Amino acid sequence: MKKQEFNEVKIISSVAVYILINFFVMLVAFFINEDILDSDIDSLQLISDILFILFLFYKFRVTFRKLGNLIRDFIEKLNMKEIINVVFTQICISIGTTLLILAVFCIIDIDTANSLNSASNEVFKNTLISFIVTVIAAPIVEELLFRVVFFKRLSRIFDVYVGMVISSILFGILHVELAVVGAVTFGIANCILYLKYRNILIPMTVHFLNNLLASLPMLFSNTASSAEAELITKSDAYSFLIYGIIIFSIGLILFIRFIIKNRQYIEKDALDMKVYKFKKGLL
């Protein structure tokens, strides 16, 4: 198997640079016009993401030749059926856990349930810049950071299993409260795809498609209607619970089947670290 000749990048330096880039962009925007911090935060985030991607490309020592090889390898290995299966699995797990959490809070504290529901509906804004950040920039940044940097480094320090779990938990924590479980399983699935294909463009494509499906309804929705989430009541708890169990079970079964089907790629790397010991030059 042909390895990609991209350099390894350390976790602490990557996180530090990401924080510094965001701080610098916000600071410059504040001195230019402090109103931008409230009115055009998505544009600032897009600038920060682009700068961070360029930084990672520099650290990875990406060249047009290496990028071309990566793209050709991606085209040869692309399996849309598998990609759609992973996305569908993540959507089922996310929706299922969201409904189950809402069902619990409907019984315990209806105000908290409505607050969580409102917060989840405000994640995607119906603006073009927000769409670009969510669907294009975020998948690139997050896959490079959590799979190429976090997963690889943690696997080198510990093993593939620890690297997969910790990087996926960190990935999940940074996402919406109600979708944390779905994000964690999504991270694990993308780690497995990275192990299987040795090409970061595969999990990136999964991430693109997932965020696209999640944000399209908000992009074409009416601003006024999308700003107000429909209030839920205690009577919704039973239906949330039933639908949540069914949808989550479907997602969980698909996720377990995916792991079993691709277990050989995990075990191969966990038991033979020579294959995936992350020598310099491997992406």
Number of domains in the chain: 1
Q: Is 44 part of a structural domain of the chain?
A: no
**Position 151 pLDDT exceeds 60:** yes
Unique residue bearing structure tokens 């299922």: 96
Q: Is 40 exposed, middle or buried (CB count within 10 Å of its CB: 0-12, 13-18, 19+)?
A: middle
Confidence of residue 122 (pLDDT cuts 50, 70, 90): low
What whole-number distance in Å separates Cα of residue 154 and Cα of residue 189? 17
| Cβ atoms of residues 157 and 65 within 8 Å | no
Q: Is 103 part of a structural domain of the chain?
A: yes
Confidence of residue 149 (pLDDT cuts 50, 70, 90): very high
Q: Is 252 part of a structural domain of the chain?
A: yes
Tell me which of 34 and 113 has the higher pLDDT. 34
**Position 261 pLDDT exceeds 60:** yes
Range among 14-18, 212-216, 264-268 with highest mean pLDDT value: 14-18
**CA distances (Å), 99 to each of 170, 179, 238, 276, in order?**
23, 10, 10, 38
**Position 231 pLDDT exceeds 80:** no
Q: Is 33 part of a structural domain of the chain?
A: no
What whole-number distance in Å separates Cα of residue 227 and Cα of residue 248? 27
| Cβ atoms of residues 29 and 36 within 8 Å | yes
Q: Would you state the pLDDT for residue 33?
A: 79
Q: What residues contact 173, with CB distance under 8 A and at least 6 apart?
A: 180
Q: Would you state the pLDDT for residue 266?
A: 85
Q: Is 134 part of a structural domain of the chain?
A: yes
Residues listed for the chain: 283
Q: Which domain holds residue 265?
A: 78-282
Tell me which of 49 and 224 has the higher pLDDT. 49
DSSP state of 220: T
Region of poorest pLDDT, from 23-32, 88-97, 101-110: 101-110
Q: Would you state the pLDDT for residue 234?
A: 67
Q: Is 39 part of a structural domain of the chain?
A: no
Unique residue bearing structure tokens 């294009």: 136
**Is residue 170 within a helix (H) or strand (E), and if so which, with residue range?**
helix 160-173
**Position 281 pLDDT exceeds 50:** no
Q: Is 64 part of a structural domain of the chain?
A: no
Kindly report, residue by residue over 158-208, the tens digit of the pLDDT: 889 999 999 999 999 887 666 788 999 999 999 999 999 999 999 999 999
The overall average pLDDT reported for the chain is 83
**Position 46 pLDDT exceeds 50:** yes
Q: Would you state the pLDDT for residue 227?
A: 45
Kindly state the average pLDDT of the residues 67-92.
94
Q: Is 73 part of a structural domain of the chain?
A: no
**Is residue 174 within a helix (H) or strand (E), and if so which, with residue range?**
none
